[in-house]
Structure 1
């Protein structure tokens, strides 16, 4: 089975050590070969909503989607330090659109009460979660599954780095 490839792109100034730490868990748990892009996008001022003091996911995802046009990778995920939102939520840790094959995730709220290894694990959990959506997985009701919908950083702490058995079976079916 050929592996899907995912282009990881920094948006703003997330620490490169955190971005580089995503490659192994993405390969291990989602079967995705992740490549850190040499192209970095600047802070997404174009996506800033002054009424909310946050950055709109969809604007960032549209910009990220243009990077797939000239890249050999099939999927792209932006990693940012900006506080993200979608209109119907006060915030999001990330967003993925499987149709456009684009995702974005933020470190901003994952940093609350975490640093070092705890922060690295939260970021890895969220990256694996977003990659799961890109591949075709939906949300899971098992609070320990990586595909569970997190509403707090502590929800991410409770989640496993990989999918539960039900989601793993679905992942295997999708990869056939």
Structure 2
């Protein structure tokens, strides 16, 4: 009698254990699915900043604002990348980004790095919901967006790099005093984000629509700058260099379109010697 009862209780406990395990697995899977969705619902844009000390080294995490940091000077002679890279660069977008802008970034990155560049199919525009969107600031959180696309891009492997273009206004929750940001990336990572927002007006004082060619040029410079940031190329005080950190649209428009020689050497090493 006791033995039978014991057998019955063991069977019942086994059924309960299985049900519990299945519930836990289902819960974890739902978390994973929610995180995957969250990690791809992202975005990022432009910001004012406090100047850094010019002697500073490049920080591990770099969120580069409209008035960013100035770093080490490098010489201003561009070199041409001759070898073919084994690295693939993917360019993605969220929202209404013109094809000509995406094509321009693709061409600029191919020329500067020698990498194979693939433009991904555009994703839907971001929705204004927390935690991505701060209703009080009426901006998207660049830190969360960047973290999300970094996570979602892991499956592509170490020889892939990513640039995501967004069409919304963004700020950095880790630097809340900044008004907004143009782009963000982390040294040592392979993902960065740039924003179209803030680049579409003619100048810092003229809010009328800028020519498409000027907007495209601004985006291309910012994309190349962020590739350098990911790789760890120091910022430059030379406006002819891509790693120059413009404080205003006027500065950005005067900025050169190529890496300077020391910068290009680092880019070549990162892309060719793989």
Common topology (TM > 0.5)? yes
**Residue in structure 2 matching 1:40, options 123, 126, 132:** 123
Partner of 2:187: 98
Matches within 5 A, 1:68-83: 68-71=153-156, 74-83=160-169
Structure-2-length-normalised TM-score: 0.58
1:108 deviates by 0.7
More strand by percentage: 1
1:4 aligns with 2:87: yes
Distance 1:34 1:69 in 2: 17
Equivalent residue of 2:100, what SS? Answer: helix
Structure 2: tracts of 5 or more residues without a match: 1-83, 203-209
Distance 1:156 1:172 in 2: 24
Aligned length: 176
1:28 aligns with 2:111: yes
Partner of 1:137: 233
Distance 2:111 2:254 in 1: 19
Q: CA RMSD in A?
A: 2.1
- 8 A contact 1:48–1:55 mirrored in 2: yes
Give the direction of change, closer, same or farther, for the CA distance of 1:6–1:52 in structure 2 (3 Å limit). same
Which digits, 9 at most, give the CA deviation of each residue in 1:92-139, with x for residues without a partner? 210111333211000111112122211111111111111121233121
Structure 1: tracts of 5 or more residues without a match: none
Distance 2:148 2:127 in 1: 9
Equivalent residue of 1:110, what SS? Answer: coil
- 8 A contact 2:87–2:160 mirrored in 1: yes
Distance 1:136 1:60 in 2: 21
- 8 A contact 1:96–1:103 mirrored in 2: yes
Structure having greater relative contact order (Cα 8 Å, sep ≥ 6) = 2
